[in-house]
Structure 1
Amino acid sequence: MRLVHNSLHDEVAGQLRERIFAGELVPGMFLDEVRLAQEMSISRTPLREALKVLTAEGLVRHEPRRGCFVNEVTEQDLDEIFPVIALLEGRCAFEAAQHATDGDLQALEELHQKLARHARARRINEYYETNFAIHETIIALARNRWLAGVIGDLRKIVKLARLQQLHAPGRLDQSLAEHLAVFAALKARDAEGAEAAMRTHLQRQRGALRELARAQPRRLA
């Protein structure tokens, strides 16, 4: 179907981004401009602009005289990103504890109940989606657009690897316990406790990914 949005390259970037997150366009894959343009019924100009957007986000890398490739998240990337995102999301939890209304906490409680159901059923993909929604909700409750903007950029890169950590032995139950600890602090309006719990949660995510990479070194380039 032909795309007709005024900001065509933004729509193209959005579609490619979703295909990357869905695993249809895998890390290291060459992005054939001719084939993609034909598939999307567009010219190569908006496609190239879209690839520039994704390159700026870190999802795509451009190699001179070779073209564009889906980016690969390395262990060094994760070592550098996770401490930063743990600090930032920890601060979001701190500010969310100060700003959340009773209605906000009720909505978060329902999300956590859903999270627990997915954990018990071992539905990893559904768990991840709900987990992502909880993080997004807490970021929004912080009401800090600067934090939200920086975290959003980092999360696009981390999203390429974060799902894998839930496959580490025992990680699903551990992740749920960590989320419940964050939520308990939020309900208690304990800003410092919420910040510490969120930072621990993110740091343990990195630890789970590291263990998984050691056990299966080919999972992460």
Structure 2
Amino acid sequence: MKGNGPSAAVYESLKKKIEVGSLSPSENLREVELANQYKVSRNTIKKALLMLERDTLVTIEQNKGAKVRSYSLDEVLDFLELRSVLEGFIIRLSCAVLSETDIENMKRILDTMRVLKDRQELVSYSQHNQKFHQVIYDACPNKTATNLLMNLKNQMKKYNTKTILIPKRSDQSFGEHEAIFEAVKNGDCQGAESLMITHIMNVRKVFQENYQLLL
């Protein structure tokens, strides 16, 4: 949380709503309405909105007020292209230092992902997908790279889990994660990097082909 007090509490609440999609892109964030909703002063709301603006989650225009930040297709595709490079770099570094416990954890997560995929419990599948990647991030010795990646992912969080809902994407996604795991388990760090880049670029392709369904 960014500090303490009512502004920080409002900031965290609005941030979560934006990330899960409860507040839609371009939706107006009116100070008076928010002040009434959260039972705080308009000045408290102003401070919270400024924090959200610094996180690029909100845009504030003079005489127009605040809106939830929206992203064009090109911006999302640029993000995913950059993410593919960062994810590839991170897994190449992590692959060399992952412990046996990390490998076992990834295997357990992958086994759970298989069950969830077969049951078509895709929201839970996506959550375990994130856990799979988190093992890789946590092991990476280059924390600057992982921090940069997480900042980018947080900005696009509302989009990160949606591609799995596209028909047949869950089967493709699981196959990609299975291949990544095998490369990591075998110590093939360059292979893991290549497979990870392909994985994220496939997400990018799915998003490009189904943009209107994923808004």
Structure 1 length-normalised TM: 0.89
Q: Kindly provide the amino acid, as one letter, of the partner of residue 179 in structure 2.
A: A
- Counterpart secondary structure, 1:99: coil
Measured in 2, the distance between the counterparts of 1:135 and 1:36 equals 36
Query: Which consecutive unaligned segments of at least 5 residues does structure 1 have?
Result: none
Paired residue for 2:66? 68
Paired residue for 1:128? 126
Flag the 1:219–1:95 CA change in 2: closer, same or farther, 3 A: closer
- Counterpart secondary structure, 2:29: coil
Point out 4+ residue stretches in structure 1 off by more than 6 angstroms: none
Measured in 2, the distance between the counterparts of 1:165 and 1:12 equals 29
Measured in 1, the distance between the counterparts of 2:203 and 2:20 equals 20
Q: How does 1:13-24 map to 2 (within 5 A)?
A: 13-24=11-22
Paired residue for 2:154? 156
Q: Kindly provide the amino acid, as one letter, of the partner of residue 128 in structure 2.
A: T
| Contact residue 77 and residue 208 of structure 2 kept, 8 A | no
**Structure 1 residue 219 displacement after superposition:** 4.4
- Counterpart secondary structure, 2:210: helix
Q: How does 1:70-109 map to 2 (within 5 A)?
A: 70-109=68-107
Paired residue for 2:169? 171
Q: Kindly provide the amino acid, as one letter, of the partner of residue 7 in structure 2.
A: H
Structure 2 length-normalised TM: 0.91
Measured in 1, the distance between the counterparts of 2:23 and 2:141 equals 34
**Structure 1 residue 8 displacement after superposition:** 4.5
Measured in 2, the distance between the counterparts of 1:94 and 1:206 equals 21
Range with greater deviation from structure 2 (193-202 or 28-37): 28-37
Measured in 2, the distance between the counterparts of 1:40 and 1:151 equals 32
| Contact residue 59 and residue 66 of structure 2 kept, 8 A | yes
**Structure 1 residue 164 displacement after superposition:** 2.3
Paired residue for 1:144? 142
What number of residue pairs does the alignment pair up?
213
| Contact residue 9 and residue 47 of structure 1 kept, 8 A | yes
Flag the 1:135–1:189 CA change in 2: closer, same or farther, 3 A: same
Paired residue for 2:208? 210
Paired residue for 1:33? 31
| Contact residue 168 and residue 209 of structure 1 kept, 8 A | no
Q: CA RMSD in A?
A: 1.8
| Contact residue 26 and residue 67 of structure 2 kept, 8 A | yes
